[in-house]
Amino acid sequence: MGSARKLVTYDGRFRMHRAGHLESPVLAYETWGKLNDARDNAILIFTGLSPSAHASSCAEDPTPGWWEDMIGTGLPLDTDRFFIICVNSLGSCFGSTGPASVNPETGHRYRLSFPVLTLEDVAESAWFVVQELGVDVLHTVVGCSMGGMSGLAFCVRHPENVRSFISVSSGTRALPFSIAVRSLQREMIRSDPKWNKGRYDVGDPPITGQRLARKLGMITYRSAEEWVQRFGRERSTDHARIEDQFVAEFSVESYLENVANKFTGAFDPNCYLYLSHASDLFDLAEYGGSLESGFKRLQLERVLVIGVRTDILFPIDQQRELAEGISSVCKDTQLAELDCIRGHDSFLVDMDAFRPVICDFLA
């Protein structure tokens, strides 16, 4: 199986938003469709915490992408009309430079010597990729979950280089419930003796901590209502998993077990820690001292804010706050409150609800 991933190297020192720098970092990205002659049909997608740049399949890589049903001919992100770019976030581990990468200045993996990562760094490094592709003004920035905040960082820092913004299940900043959850996920990984203060053996990573963190993640990515319908108090038939008297009696426990098994090993633990922490740090209010001053820096022509009523990670109140704030500086701001039952993850799994809203906005 081929890869559609392209790499581009930032030549020289990339200055990080908080402090420090990366020497000649690499950014991985994929594109779909073609940039038109006017160079005004480019859409940039910022991902959530864990996805790669492979948002959709293509000739070079036919494996389904993480937003497969959203990108393609006749789909909302229509590859016949748009030139679509998705960048693997800086700090991640799917081609872009991150804590798991080798620091060219030392010849060793960065690990915890990687500078503090912020979503501003994610935004700026994506902007570098966009410019390399010959685009000066983006038709639309789309950001999902953490990516919505990266997108907001982009729009507030490059107001003249973006016309429209779609925020999907995100917000202006993390609230204490989400901070508490992510902080605990990080502590789970750091508490695993195999983490070894970030100096784990890459072939023997802190799987136990990662599994716990992933399970807690799933508990907050979905909704209690969905699980009542889906699992109720059904018992697991997967008796092979019953290790002792405290585990895997209920279907919901087996489900979490399967989810954790799939994810673990696929994501570098230090990269996870950095990106999770970056999600907590972002705050639109840092632009001028208040959310209001942050919103005032935007020069968007059209905005769509989509959220889900059962989302507990970026609850519906945050969607309203975001839409209301942006509407004070951009009249053409739409808020779509969806009744999906699958919580925060709905944008990945309930495509029938999301597609028409994004389709209408981009029509």
Binders of its own copies among residues 41 to 80 (CB under 8 A) are none
**CA–CA distance, 152 with 167 (Å, rounded to integer):** 8
Tokens of 89: 């976030």
Residue 332 among the catalytic residues: no
Stretch that binds its own copies, among 118-126, 187-195, 303-311, 347-355 (CB under 8 A): 187-195
With CB under 8 A as the contact rule, the residue among 180, 199, 262, 339 that binds its own copies is: 180
For 82, what's the count of Cα atoms within 13 Å in the CB-facing half-sphere?
A: 25
Closest Cα to residue 49, out of 122, 146, 144?
146
Token readout for 14 is 């990339």
Rg (CA), the chain: 20
Cα–chain center distance at 154? 14
Q: Residue 222 corresponds to which tokens in the numbers above?
A: 């979905």
Kindly state the tokens that stand for 320.
């309203």
**Position 40 contacts its own copies (CB under 8 A):** no
Q: Kindly state whether residue 244 participates in binding its own copies, applying the rule CB under 8 A.
A: yes
Look at residue 221 and give its three-state secondary structure.
helix
DSSP string over 145-186: THHHHHHHHHHHH-GGGEEEEEEES--SB--HHHHHHHHHHH
Give yes or no for a contact between 272 and 227, defined as CB atoms under 8 angstroms apart: no
Pick the binder of its own copies from 8, 35, 116, 133 (CB under 8 A).
Answer: 116
| Residues 122-161, mask of contacts with its own copies (x by CB under 8 A) | ----------------------------------------
Under DSSP, the state recorded for 331 is S
User: Is residue 177 a contact residue for its own copies (CB under 8 A)?
Assistant: yes
As given in the structure block, the two tokens for residue 125 are 């490094």
Please identify, using beta-carbon distances, which residue of 106 and 177 lies nearer to its own copies: 177
Tokens of 107: 């010849």
Residue in 121, 192, 311, 350 annotated catalytic: 311
Q: Tell me the per-residue interface mask from 252 to 291 with its own copies, x by CB under 8 A, - otherwise.
A: xx--x----------------x--xx--xx-x--------
Annotated catalytic residue, options 145, 167, 169, 279: 145
Tell me if residue 145 is catalytic.
Answer: yes
Task: Decide: 236 and 245 in contact? Cβ < 8 Å.
Answer: no
Q: Is 316 exposed, middle or buried (0-12, 13-18, 19+ CB in 10 A)?
A: middle
Residue 312 beta carbon to its own copies: minimum distance, rounded to whole angstroms = 7
Q: Is 344 a catalytic residue?
A: yes
Residue from 58, 174, 300, 353 in contact with its own copies (CB under 8 A): 174
- Minimum CB distance to its own copies, residue 192 (Å): 8
Q: Is 196 in the site for its own copies (CB under 8 A)?
A: no
Of 132 and 280, which CB lies nearer to its own copies in the complex structure?
A: 280
**Which residue in the set 181, 271, 336, 362 belongs to the binding site for its own copies (CB under 8 A)?**
181
Q: 3-class SS at 62?
A: coil
Of residues 54 and 186, the one with the C-beta less far from its own copies: 186
Chain residues in the site for its own copies (CB under 8 A): 112, 116, 173-177, 179-181, 183-184, 186-188, 190-193, 197, 208-209, 212, 215-216, 219, 224, 227-228, 230-233, 244-253, 256, 273, 276-277, 280-281, 283, 312, 315
Which active-site residues does the annotation give?
A: 145, 311, 344
